[in-house]
Structure 1
Amino acid sequence: MRSNYETFFDHPRFALVGRSAAKPFPLLSYRGLKRHGKTVYAVDPSAQEIDGDPAYPDLTALPEAVEALIIEAPKQETRDWIAAAAQAGIQDVWVHMAHDTPEAIALAEESGINLRTGTCAVMYVTRGLSYHSLHKAIMKLAGKY
């Protein structure tokens, strides 16, 4: 049986939130989703373009609805992005490892969002030998994949 983490990637349309002004946009996740044939929109209030694609300032600016959201923005923004996801009707959200907060987790629970935390989405969308594939192997051995 596939885990809740694995089934997250069954959706066809994703938004990925980052803030380039604070740290580099999460291109590994962005490109990985695209390689898997997913429609993925970059949401970055501090950029006009990500990897040659338009960047959107928030979820309301997206050209179409998405089913899933990955948040890799600064930790202090996580709760606000969870709130935006709830308002947009997004029920599947992944908060990048160490970017969750008790307030964000509580809001997701109150909003009925299926929240994934505590691990990195990159290990599910990248291929080949890398730090992320090693992380993936360790998580599988630990039963946390």
Structure 2
Amino acid sequence: MSSNELKEKMMSLKNWAVVGVSGNKDKFGYKIWKTLKEHGYTTYGISPNYDELEGDRIYKSLSELPEKVDIIDMVVPPRLSITILEEAKENGIEYIFFQPGTYNDEVVAKAEELGLNFLTDDCVYATLKKGAH
């Protein structure tokens, strides 16, 4: 599957988890979470730093989510991304959207080793803002 086909497939999935959600409106962890919700995606925030944001419950881990999500949007540093990949695999989540700065060679190798479908060098926020999905 080409990266364009993969991106199209990922954008068609409706249940997302934003790992690294933030209450800081200037950060991508907030902008991505908010924009996904505004575009009709079921979006769960994952962060150990919040219990809720704007009335939505925020979860500490993927295994706490009330339902299985289709895709994870990573907004955390590579050292955290790599641990989330194992948790994603354990929870049957196959699709990972790595925001810029959330991955390195080790993270990409781990995603490949686990057989996950993932995108790098792209931004879901920019995609939704452009309306290109």
What TM-score, normalized by structure 2, do the two folds share? 0.84
SS of residue in 1 equivalent to 2:86: helix
Partner of 1:115: 118
CA contact 2:74–2:81 (8 Å) conserved in 1:
yes
Instruction: Give the letter aligned to residue 87 of structure 1.
Output: E
- 4-13 or 85-94, which moves further after superposition? 4-13
Separation in 1 of the partners of 2:43 and 2:22? 17
Structure 1 residue runs without a partner (length 5+): 129-135, 137-144
Superposed displacement of residue 25, structure 1:
6.3
Per-residue deviation, 1:78: 1.0
Alignment identity in percent?
Answer: 28
Q: Distance in 1 between matches of 2:20 and 2:97?
A: 13
CA contact (8 A) 2:46 2:60 kept: yes
RMSD: 2.4
Which of these two proteins has the greater Rg computed from alpha carbons?
1
Q: Deviations over 1:7-65 (max 9, x none)?
A: 211111111110649x9461221111112211110011111112321100000000000
Q: What is the CA deviation profile of residues 76-125 of structure 1, one whole-angstrom value per residue up to 9, with x for unaligned ones? A: 21101111111111101011112102221111111110011122221112
Instruction: Give the Cα–Cα distance (whole angstroms) in 2 for the partners of residues 52 and 84 of structure 1.
Output: 26
Unaligned 5+ segments in structure 2 are none
Q: What is residue 76 of structure 1 aligned with on the other side?
A: 79
Counterpart of 2:89 in structure 1 is 86
1:12 and 1:38 in contact (8 A); partners too = yes
Matches of 1:119 and 1:85, distance apart in 2: 20
Match of 1:10 among 12, 20, 29: 12
Query: Residue in 1 aligned with 2:38?
Result: 35
Q: Distance in 1 between matches of 2:82 and 2:53?
A: 23
- Taking the aligned partners of 1:35 and 1:42, their CA distance within structure 2 comes to 14
Q: Letter of the aligned partner of 2:118 in structure 1?
A: L
Which of 98, 109, 116 is 2:101 aligned to?
Answer: 98
C-alpha separation in 1, matches of 2:28 and 2:99: 12
Amino acid corresponding to residue 18 of structure 1 in structure 2 = G
**Pairs aligned (count):** 129
1:44 partner letter: S
**Paired position in structure 2 for 1:133:** none
Tell me the secondary structure at the aligned position of residue 115 of structure 1.
Answer: strand
